[in-house]
Structure 1
Amino acid sequence: MRPASARLRAGLLATCTALTALATIGPASADAASTTRLSGDWAPFSRCPVDDPAMLAADGRTDIVQCIASHSASGTIKLGNTNVITGASDLQVGVVQHTGGTNSLVAPAGGALIADSADIPGGLLGLMCPNDVPVIGDICRQITNGTLNRVTATVESAGTPTDFNLTAGATSGQPIIAIPIRIHLQNPFLGNSCYIGSAAHPIVLRPQNVTAPTLGIQRFDGNGTPNTAGDMNRLSLVNASQTDTTFAVPGASGCGLAGLLDWAVNLKTGLPSAAGKNSVVLNSASTYLAGLHAPGTVVPDNGKLLSQYWHSAAQ
């Protein structure tokens, strides 16, 4: 009988070989995810959770509801030793403003944040090779083409955002919102459960504007048609790059069979990484907030009317 270490290595390699048949990579992206296409000034709010019970229950007096959408076409993220150029990202939530100035956020069913996948520079070769550890060395020798080498990283929601601050969104230098995320690393050898961060231990981004955005206010009808006397208001905060350098990053987990590749990924990427050693930049972020112009006049139907108007704008 072969030694346990040899059996373990053979089992791992057999599993990795089988995983190459599952090499199709590409979860829903920020531009390709299922959304509702809306008309006119409703357009940015394609995923607003207007039918969530917490939104529908808002009366317009003690609770007032609005939709928030923030989109960035590109950016960068640094995790430990690894820098990645990112694609489009889209953050959408509903906000319930309570009497006394507090608020609570409601995430869409598919998660508040969706983002395009990005390629890790150097792929698996860059993450783990060269390496003289037998199991890792065997994997390195099997990486013979781009499909086996390619590693994609996709930012995913890991919970509902908190701590929304509208004043911070209209100015600069203050955290606007706290966004819990995890990062999904995908490659045939890593399997489908390789993550940096989790729902229990997320990476929490707190982006802030580098410079104050350009402010605009529009009135529009319930169906999205611009109208200076319309029932709806939209606040636009555009062309403000955002950044955060305050977040910590945990180590990777679930990489390879039974997590046997976690240590290799963490070693080369410099994870876990303490707060202050990581960063994210969102280029030219455009943020919008929409709600009824006079919610106090529609008590107790603020939430129900917002949902009705949103659906009336669907194309």
Structure 2
Amino acid sequence: MSSLRRLTVLSATAALATIASIGTSTAAGPQLNGRWAPFDRCPVDNAAMLAADGIDDQATCISSSSSSGVIKIGSSVVPTGRTDLQAGVITHADGTNTVIAPADGALVADPADLPGGLLGLMCPSSVPVVGAVCDQITNSTLNRVTATVEPVGTPTDFQLFAGLGEKQPILSIPVRVHLKNPLIGGNCYIGTKSSPIVLRPQNQTTPGVAAESFTANGTPADTGEMVRLAATGAGQEDTTFAAPGASGCGPLGLGAFNWAVNLKSGLPAASGKNSLTLNSASTYLATLTDPGSASPDQGRTFSQYWHSAAK
């Protein structure tokens, strides 16, 4: 692999690590052997991935995971649960790239409990209708609010080389925070598809980078057909995004309690009043050691290797 091509895919690896702290829950794919293990949902059979020729276009797999993070929106602090990103990336000869999501979505995140629950989100209140809801909170089940950060669109403004450095926005990610509770319903969001929170995270520090070779079926080997690159140890942050008001909070998702959530949480909140902190991510990229040797069928060869690793 040329030094320029390796630098390009390394940049994609580090940049895509940022997305790993944002997503929705879904099932894992088949279990894969050895060094292929982190890539069990990679869309290797996507038509664009299969069409990669290894010269002008190179198919790769990305996987990134993070254990935790925090988003402060107005006066509310929302944790992020364990997250995982998996995607295919087609790196083009001009240094640009195209991200390919799995059929069930690229992002996976566990829900996290909102500290303080419903009592912290909108209670107490002197307004009768809200006060009546607060009076019903007699146990932890009724008070518990789960928060999941969900993507609501395709990331944009993708800057490859920012992912290897620090203090530069890597990409723009439109998201919403999904709040769930028996009393406010399951359609309560901060941010929407039409008015999302747009995150522009950047590396706090430069990630550590390492590479190792492995055979087609995932077994480590010094002269393997595959190479796995790792970018680890860097956290990300963003303090520039604005946050819109809540929507859909209340019975039947009609928004009767939107104002109560907004009032207690200080929403909408302008840029500078919010922050994102993503804890250390472990990110991996897998590609052929010599993509040109598989031309014009690099994508198809890559897919065959992935399938050969399935247990």
Normalising by structure 1, we get a TM-score of 0.85
Which residue of the partner structure matches residue 63 of structure 2? 69
Change (3 A) 1:179 1:224: farther
Which residue of the partner structure matches residue 38 of structure 1? 32
CA distance in 2, matches of 1:118, 1:78: 14
CA contact (8 A) 1:105 1:160 kept: no
The CA deviation string for residues 190-243 of structure 1, in whole angstroms up to 9 with x for no partner, is 211111223333323232221112110111112111112111121111111222
The 3-state SS of whatever aligns with 1:259 is: coil
CA distance in 2, matches of 1:178, 1:307: 29
Which residue of the partner structure matches residue 271 of structure 2? 275
Q: Indicate which of 210, 215, 220 corresponds to 2:204.
A: 210
Q: Indicate which of 175, 182, 185 corresponds to 1:181.
A: 175
1:222-233 to structure 2, matched below 5 A, reads 222-233=216-227
* 1:303 corresponds to 2:299: yes
The 3-state SS of whatever aligns with 2:280 is: strand
Which residue of the partner structure matches residue 6 of structure 2? none
CA distance in 2, matches of 1:308, 1:275: 47
1:1-315 to structure 2, matched below 5 A, reads 29=25, 33-257=27-251, 258-315=254-311
CA contact (8 A) 1:170 1:215 kept: no
CA distance in 2, matches of 1:96, 1:307: 13
The 3-state SS of whatever aligns with 2:132 is: helix
The 3-state SS of whatever aligns with 1:249 is: coil
CA distance in 1, matches of 2:50, 2:190: 35
Structure 1's consecutive aligned runs of 4 or more residues displaced over 3 angstroms after TM superposition are 162-166
Q: CA deviation at 1:92?
A: 2.0
Change (3 A) 1:196 1:276: same
The higher radius of gyration belongs to 1
Change (3 A) 1:76 1:95: same
Change (3 A) 1:193 1:155: same
Which residue of the partner structure matches residue 7 of structure 1? none
Q: CA deviation at 1:185?
A: 0.4
The 3-state SS of whatever aligns with 1:44 is: helix
CA distance in 1, matches of 2:172, 2:306: 26
CA distance in 2, matches of 1:113, 1:288: 15
Amino acid at match of 1:93: A
Amino acid at match of 2:28: S
RMSD: 2.0
The 3-state SS of whatever aligns with 1:184 is: strand
Which residue of the partner structure matches residue 15 of structure 1? none
Aligned pair count?
287
CA distance in 1, matches of 2:285, 2:47: 20
Q: CA deviation at 1:72?
A: 0.9
Change (3 A) 1:98 1:73: same
CA distance in 2, matches of 1:211, 1:51: 35
The 3-state SS of whatever aligns with 1:240 is: coil
Identity of aligned residues (%): 61
Amino acid at match of 1:294: D
**Residue ranges of structure 2 left out of the alignment (5+ in a row):** 1-22
Amino acid at match of 2:297: D
Amino acid at match of 2:276: V
CA contact (8 A) 2:86 2:107 kept: yes
Normalising by structure 2, we get a TM-score of 0.86
CA distance in 2, matches of 1:293, 1:127: 51
Q: CA deviation at 1:28?
A: 6.4
